[in-house]
Amino acid sequence: MLSRDKTLKPDRNVELTALYEISKVLSSSIDLPQTVSGVLKILSTYFDDVRRCMISLVQESGDLHVIGASNMSPEAIARGRFREGEGVSGGILRNGIPVVIPDISKEPRFLNRTGSRTPEQTERTAFIGVPIKNGREIVGVLSYDREFRGMRRNFENDVQFLQMVANLIGQTVRLHQLVAAEREFLMGEKHRLQKALPGKYNIEHMVGSSKVMQAAFAEVFQAAQSRSTVLLRGESGTGKELIARAIHYLSGRKEGPFVKVNCAALTETLLESELFGHERGAFTGATQERKGRFELANKGTLFLDEIGDVSPAFQAKLLRVLQEREFERVGGTKTIKIDVRLVGATNRNLEDAVTRGQFREDLYYRLNVVTISLPPLRERRDDIAGLVQHFLQRFCAESGRQLTIAEDAMAVLKNCAWPGNVRELENCVERIATMTRGNVIREVDLACRQNMCFSQALHHYGKSGRHVPVPVVPAPISASEEDDADEVPEFTSERERVVWALEQCGWVQARAARMLNLTPRQIGYAILKYKIPVKKL
């Protein structure tokens, strides 16, 4: 039997073990109520004379609320609310210093707000409370009651122990706040994008009033309602990705993810890992497992851009996924089933690639379920004016300028071939708008050296040898050059056209360029491209 004047010494081994267990609980989860419950359980388990452990946190109102307590009913916990400076806990919140009350039955500031202590329980019971800090900010209070059972205690050790626990809790609270703020931001962004994207990629909000585009839009509306694989075909820059997004947001999968992959930008090995994912240790650098794009697009849409450029070896792997809707990760053996709607896009002639053995015939038939062809810009010139105005308005909104375009400048843009299609037109409008000094874009602004944005080469499409003229702003023709401006006859190939012009002009390249409405640089490129022997007369 210990005498009353003997001081009870703390068991340091028990405290260190308790701290270790508490640190494990706090680092095991970011679920704050779960970790608080675990900490309270450890404190009650390791110290048999500890009663009513409480963790209180500051709420948005600024008041201190008990969020967890041991040996206390839920009703009592709900009553545990303190304003700053109110009672002992409120005083700790205000002053930010630990408080020790050796006998709470003799302390008038002790409110017993929770009502969990009977008069008998308050006798010979000490209260120790410390602030929970996040940096310099006080975010809560950690406290417990401890019975001293007729023995004096070294409360300094209790304070030190609780401060160490409070520091661990403060770090967890900080992490919880950061995660909660990040989650709130991401949820807000998700809500904003869900509202913005359907309108942005809705066909009704895409520029295209020409007959060919209206026909393409009608096909998009029809195809979007089904689950069939869609193959988008068209030249580079015709807006295949925009159409793919529109198909997704017009379909029943609009609430699911839209995932895109540029097949031409990745090697075969990287593409396999990117699409199918990989297991940990599958290859050098695979330090953890990773989900592939097929998994990420589950219940949504996967857009495979430039699908005609994948290698024959990878085509076989892709075929199985399209047929069975299942695959294994790189380095794994578990079969993963998916529910994905596939939209592919290519600017290649797949039929020709199949004939040459460069593209698998069975994969071609699997992809070519619903085909939507997007016309090049030169076949939808009625849309050029609308596209120019759209890009110009967007530029003005981003730069804070007020620009308009004159009719003569618009006429020049309408007469260009635009081998780069809508992408080239967009870049051209941005360049002209950037370099134009006034508020109105005129024909002279297009002709100046800084804004010469038209292609500098002759472009050919397909095997037909069909040429696309690339007009520039014509220079004034002098009287001595009028004979150079004769009408150019039609030719079956671009090479014949260039040779004819050179012969007409005595093999003077500058005059031949003017006759074809080209620049000297363009005519020089054509001579090199078609290996035309230059005659010197």
Name the range with the highest mean pLDDT among 340-349, 449-458, 508-517.
Answer: 340-349
| Per-residue pLDDT at 375 | 92
Query: What is the per-residue pLDDT across 32-48, written as a single tens digit (0 to 9) for each?
Result: 888 888 888 888 888 77
Instruction: Please tell me the CATH code under which domain 201-365 is placed.
Output: 3.40.50.300
Distances (CA, A) of 113 to 83, 117, 189, 255: 12, 9, 42, 48
Please determine, for residue 344, whether its predicted confidence score (pLDDT) is greater than 90.
Answer: yes
What is the token pair recorded at 182? 């990040």
Please determine, for residue 462, whether its predicted confidence score (pLDDT) is greater than 80.
Answer: no
Pick from 150, 80, 85: which is nearest to 116 by CA? 80
Name the range with the highest mean pLDDT among 75-84, 120-129, 294-303.
Answer: 294-303
Name the range with the highest mean pLDDT among 193-207, 249-263, 279-293.
Answer: 249-263
State which CATH number among 1.10.287.610, 3.40.50.300, 1.10.8.60, 3.20.170.30 fits the domain covering 378-451.
Answer: 1.10.8.60
Say which range, 199-203, 340-344, 352-356, 431-435, has the weakest mean pLDDT. 199-203
Mean pLDDT, rounded, for 359-379: 91
Question: Which CATH class, in words, describes the domain spanning 464-529?
Answer: mainly alpha
What is the token pair recorded at 15? 């405290």
Please determine, for residue 477, whether its predicted confidence score (pLDDT) is greater than 60.
Answer: no
Indicate the pLDDT class of residue 451, thresholds 50, 70 and 90: very low
Q: Choose between 452 and 456: higher pLDDT.
A: 452
Mean pLDDT, rounded, for 490-497: 78
Indicate the pLDDT class of residue 519, thresholds 50, 70 and 90: confident
Please determine, for residue 463, whether its predicted confidence score (pLDDT) is greater than 50.
Answer: no
| Per-residue pLDDT at 123 | 66
Q: Where in the chain is the domain with CATH 1.10.8.60?
A: 378-451
Mean pLDDT, rounded, for 93-97: 89
| Per-residue pLDDT at 36 | 87
CA distance 90 to 535: 99
For the chain, give the mean pLDDT: 81
Mean pLDDT, rounded, for 139-148: 85
Instruction: State the helix-helix crossing angle for 32-46 and 155-200, rounded to 10 degrees.
Output: 160
Q: Where in the chain is the domain with CATH 1.10.10?
A: 464-529
Mean pLDDT, rounded, for 323-336: 86
* Residues 416 and 233 sit within 8 Å (Cβ to Cβ): no
| Per-residue pLDDT at 151 | 55
What is the token pair recorded at 315? 């085509």
Q: Choose between 456 and 530: higher pLDDT.
A: 530
| Per-residue pLDDT at 146 | 80
| Per-residue pLDDT at 153 | 64
Q: Choose between 244 and 192: higher pLDDT.
A: 244
| Per-residue pLDDT at 201 | 57
| Per-residue pLDDT at 106 | 78
Say which range, 4-8, 22-26, 180-184, has the weakest mean pLDDT. 4-8
| Per-residue pLDDT at 50 | 77
| Per-residue pLDDT at 469 | 36
Indicate the pLDDT class of residue 141, thresholds 50, 70 and 90: very high
Strands in 35-183 per DSSP E: 50-58, 64-69, 81-82, 99-101, 125-134, 137-147, 152-153
Query: What is the per-residue pLDDT across 228-267, written as a single tens digit (0 to 9) for each?
Result: 999 999 999 999 999 999 999 899 898 899 999 998 888 8
Q: Where in the chain is the domain with CATH 3.30.450.40?
A: 7-179
| Residue bearing tokens 């008041």 | 63
Q: Is 290 exposed, middle or buried (0-12, 13-18, 19+ CB in 10 A)?
A: middle
Instruction: State what percent of residues in the chain have pLDDT above 90.
Output: 21
Q: Where in the chain is the domain with CATH 3.40.50.300?
A: 201-365
Q: The domain at 7-179 falls in which architecture?
A: 2-Layer Sandwich (3.30)
Q: Are strands 64-69 and 81-82 parallel, antiparallel or unpaired?
A: antiparallel
